[in-house]
Amino acid sequence: MLLEIEQALERINAVCDSLPAQTLPASNALHCILAEHVYSDIDSPPHDKSIVDGYALRAEDCTTVPTVLKILEEITAGQVPTLTVTSGTATRIMTGAPIPNGTNAVVMVEKTELPNEQEIAIHEVAPRVGQNIMRKGTSLQCGQLVLETGKQLRSIELGLLAEIGRVNVQVIPQPRVAVLATGNELVEAQNKPGAGEIRNSNSPLLCGLVQAAGGVAIDLGIGRDNVAHLQSLCAAGLRENVLVISGGVSAGVLDLIPHVLTDLGVQCVFHKVNLKPGKPLWFGKLTTPQHECIVFGLPGNPVSSLVCFELFVRPVLQKLAGKSFCGMQMCHATLTTEFVYRGGRRTLHPAKFNSETKQVTPLTWRGSGDLFTLTHANAFIEFQGDARTLTCGQQVNIYLF
Ligand code: AMP
Ligand code: MG
């Protein structure tokens, strides 16, 4: 009996765990999950500051319109006031500069007029005490808990970490994923394929999927279908957190990957799932006292690799990164056309989903080697069981990607 998708996911989930926390420069921690509580080392703002360009003064001085005050000095952001403001005087102040002693309000420059270089005429009636002043510590206080363990770091949090002086943070690191394409027929994209050869689509496809899923891709290039070559490349890949291999896991005479992996000590968890495309999927784990590596052998056809990645690899990368193990997003949609499904196995068929109308259109697809059709796809329609004709308007399950 072949495993169903859900059973395969359960077995995968059961053997993978969040990676151990590491201290990283905050600049390398975007999207990572925080693995410590973070506290502020300062009050923010660190001083009472002006939030406008204008004049710091005593609100009680402004009894008439205009009130003319003597300008004591000018303070820009980064400077410190040197003079105390007394009755009948004011300090010209710029946004962000510390509030001078003796003042309790700032009038914005737009509400003033300069009769001469020494004086300022204030045209605001009865300024409110405290207006245009941000008090020390109103945003954050020294010692305050500002970010909690488990929080995902966005750009906002990176800015905040800088504000409180944190250049290094403890996070769950991004999983490192080795990508190995296999096949004697493969040539790299810059080469013209000779007789019997094709270009290697899977390395760029899988490296891109790894990056989009929040992993760091390590491209091991092409492995030839001989045991020695595959063994040395797989051994290199097993030093990372995850090894994703494409090709060589089916029933052909040169499908050597399962044998090579078990020889290297990788424990097979399952081989084959009830899925089209993607049936030959191989999954296992290497466990040594020092290191663990999750291993996927994906079938070589590019669309099979894509389907298996989206269904099974992406949730692993999320879990390793400290997030939840979450499969592909599923929903219901309405078929826009009749569709004849020639089934047997549970099938994911490329389709175009319209999220506004909730309608889905199956694409004319030539099978798992047809990556071109996938350029128009954003979903897979799920077909179950035996061949049948689905009618226009019928509800189907779809997986979004
Ligand atoms: P395999 O799983 O090795 O039997 O390969 C199945 C099919 O996928 C064959 O037609 C291969 O030529 C093709 N294939 C395998 N690897 C790649 C790759 N990296 N890029 C494009 N096609 C591939
Ligand atoms: Mg092959």
Residue 186 has which token pair?
């493969």
97-108 residues labelled b (16+ CB within 10 A) or e (exposed): bbbbebbbbbbb
Q: Are 6 and 275 in contact (CB under 8 A)?
A: no
Q: Residue 329 burial (CB < 10 Å; 0-12/13-18/19+)? A: exposed
Nearest by Cα to 125 from 70, 57, 66: 66
Cα Rg, the chain, nearest whole Å: 32
The pLDDT score that the predictor gives to residue 388 is 86
Query: Measuring from each residue's beta carbon to the nearest atom of ligand 1, which residues come in under 6 Å?
Result: 181, 183, 185-186, 198, 200-202, 246-248, 250, 252, 255, 299-302, 369
Residue with tokens 């009749």: 338
Residue 53 CA to ligand 2 centre (angstroms): 69
The pLDDT score that the predictor gives to residue 1 is 85
Tell me the C-alpha distance between 135 and 105, whole Å. Answer: 11
Q: Are 8 and 283 in contact (CB under 8 A)?
A: yes
Give the residue whose CA is nearest to atom 6 of ligand 1: 300
Tell me how many degrees the CA angle 349-350-356 measures, rounded to the nearest 5. 115
- Cα-Cα end-to-end distance for the chain: 28
Residue 247 CA to ligand 1 centre (angstroms): 5
The pLDDT score that the predictor gives to residue 396 is 96
Ligand 1 atom nearest to CA at 222: 19
* Positions of the chain with pLDDT lower than 70, given as ranges: none
Point out the ligand nearest to the CA of residue 369.
Answer: 1
Q: In the 8-state DSSP scheme, what is residue 273?
A: B
Q: In the 8-state DSSP scheme, what is residue 347?
A: E
Residue 197 CA to ligand 1 centre (angstroms): 10
Nearest by Cα to 81 from 89, 73, 70, 90: 73
Q: Are 361 and 398 in contact (CB under 8 A)?
A: no
The pLDDT score that the predictor gives to residue 385 is 77
Number of neighbouring beta carbons within 10 Å of residue 394: 12
Q: Are 3 and 270 in contact (CB under 8 A)?
A: yes
Tell me the C-alpha distance between 311 and 347, whole Å. Answer: 13
Residue 301 CA to ligand 1 centre (angstroms): 5
Nearest by Cα to 10 from 316, 366, 332: 316
Contacts 24+ apart (CB under 8 A), 140-147: 140/40, 140/42, 140/43, 140/44, 140/164, 141/40, 141/43, 142/40, 142/41, 142/42, 142/43, 143/39, 143/40, 144/39, 144/40, 145/37, 145/38, 145/39, 146/38, 146/39, 146/40, 147/34, 147/37, 147/38
Half-sphere exposure of 375 (CA within 13 A, CB side): 3
Residue with tokens 């994911």: 348
The pLDDT score that the predictor gives to residue 297 is 98
Number of neighbouring beta carbons within 10 Å of residue 128: 10
Give the residue whose CA is nearest to atom 12 of ligand 1: 185
The pLDDT score that the predictor gives to residue 129 is 98
In terms of DSSP H, where are the helices of 240-312?
257-263, 302-308
Residue 375 CA to ligand 2 centre (angstroms): 24
Residue with tokens 């979903």: 379
